[in-house]
Structure formats: C-alpha cells, structure tokens
A and B are shown apart, each in its own frame.
Chain A
C-alpha cells in the first residue's frame, strides 16, 4: 500500500506561506493524494486533493511533482488558526479494497 512520509513538525511565521512537504514514492498511477488537517481533537478537515495536476482552492494549493512521488501543500498566508496537524494521505483503491491510511502527519505551528 502506498505510504506517505512527512516531517513531524514545522514552524511558520504568521502571514508567510507555509509549505508542507510529503513523500509518496510508492503511489500508483490512479491514486489520489489528499491533504487533511486536524485541530486539537476535532475530526480531520479536508483541505485539497489531486491526481497529477496542481490544484488550488480557497484554502490552499497543492503542487504534485511530475513523477508523482512527492507533493507540497501551500497555505499562502498562514494565520494562527492554521496551527494544526496536517496529514498527507493516499487513498488505495483496488477491486474489492478501499483503504485510507493516515501517517503521523506534520504538526504546523504558526508563530505571531
């Protein structure tokens, strides 16, 4: 199954861009990369996902390398409310198998 690796923690100054990296070197060609975040013990919140192309929405941008072995989540102007644990995951789908496996994530601290 495709696994992801992320740095355990990062800091970012308020107002600056936060760039969170993720490695998923075993990803298959039709598997999507998803990003979620979790604030305290709330349910994980969906941020963005992509397959091959870069994606942008109102929350963030997702940059996926051409070989799809890594990606970067960009929060363009980080605020204190973006302090959270960020998870990069791959949804693994087979004929009778559909698993979403979370890694330990990156704890992002936005500093005033």
Chain B
C-alpha cells in the first residue's frame, strides 16, 4: 500500500532532550516536506526537500533540522526541543512536479515539558 509513515505517533519529552521524528514513503517520491499544525495557525511548512541531498527552509524552520540522505526517508530533528515546539507534526511527499498532489502521514503529536 502506498503510504507515508511517521513515527512515533505520540511523543512526550523534556526541554533540551534531542529527538528525531522519522518519516518514510514507499512511492519513490522526490519531494518531501514537514509541517506543524497549531490551533488557530493552520499548517505551516517547516522544511522541504526537492530531492536527495537537497533541502530548503519553509516558513518556520527555527529550532529544527532535516536531512535527506536517501529518497524514501526525511527525518525531522529537534536538537534542543522547547515547549513552544509542542505541536502536531505532519510529513508529506509527492512527485516533483507542480501537478502532483501531496500525500500526508498520520501525524506525530509532540509534547515538550
């Protein structure tokens, strides 16, 4: 089944403890992206990647890192999480063209205390 898989679904951590949220897709998509969703603010793009080894900042990249060493994986790294990064996170992927829809994962709910 074609899908975008995020792990974990739920994560509670403490301020400053490094964490990684994984994202994997099995559709051979070039484009991958991370979003965070907060009440009243909608979905905001954190980082995106147009292909392997190519990443770029979205609208809210501060406090996050990403890497794209292989096509199927696009992990989101929080080196030193803070409470303002408590949010619902979504990973998405698509073919690399403007006429291709995004496929979203089921989300990761992160709480930083």
Residues of A within 8 A of B42 (CB): 87, 102-105
- Stretch of B13-21, B62-70, B99-107 contacting A (4+ beta carbons < 8 Å): B99-107
Contacts of B40 in A (CB 8 A): 104
**Proximity bits, A15-45, B CB within 8 Å = 1, else 0:** 0000000000000001110101000011111
Residues of B in contact (CB 8 Å), total: 30
Q: Report the bound CA distance from A41 to B105 in whole Å.
A: 11
Contact A41 B109 (CB under 8 A): yes
By a CB distance below 8 angstroms, the chain A residues around B107 are 41-43
Which residue in A30, A32, A96, A102 is a CB contact (below 8 Å) of B43?
A102
Interface residues of A, count at CB 8 A: 26
- Of listed B40, B42, B97, B105, residue having the most chain A CB within 10 A: B42
Given contacts A41-B107, A43-B107, contact A34 B101 (CB under 8 A): yes
CB distance from A100 to the nearest CB of B (A): 6
* A98 beta carbon closer than 8 Å to chain B: yes
A98 engages B50 (CB within 8 Å) = yes
* Contact residue among B45, B105, B106 (Cβ-Cβ distance under 8 Å from A100): B45
Q: Is the beta-carbon distance between A44 and B43 smaller than 8 angstroms?
A: yes
Q: Residue of B at shortest CB range from A104?
A: B42
Residues of A within 8 A of B97 (CB): 93
* Residues in A whose Cβ lies below 8 Å from that of B109: 41
A68 within 8 A of B: no
Q: Does B1 have its Cβ within 8 Å of any Cβ on chain A?
A: no
Residues of chain A touching chain B, judged by Cβ–Cβ distance below 8 Å, are 30-32, 34, 36, 41-46, 49, 51, 87, 91, 93, 96-105
Chain B residues within CB distance 8 Å of chain A? 4, 31, 33, 35, 37, 40, 42-45, 48, 50, 56, 58-59, 88, 90, 92, 96-99, 101-107, 109
* Chain A to chain B: the 4 pairs with minimum beta-carbon distance, closest first: A43-B104, A102-B43, A93-B98, A46-B101
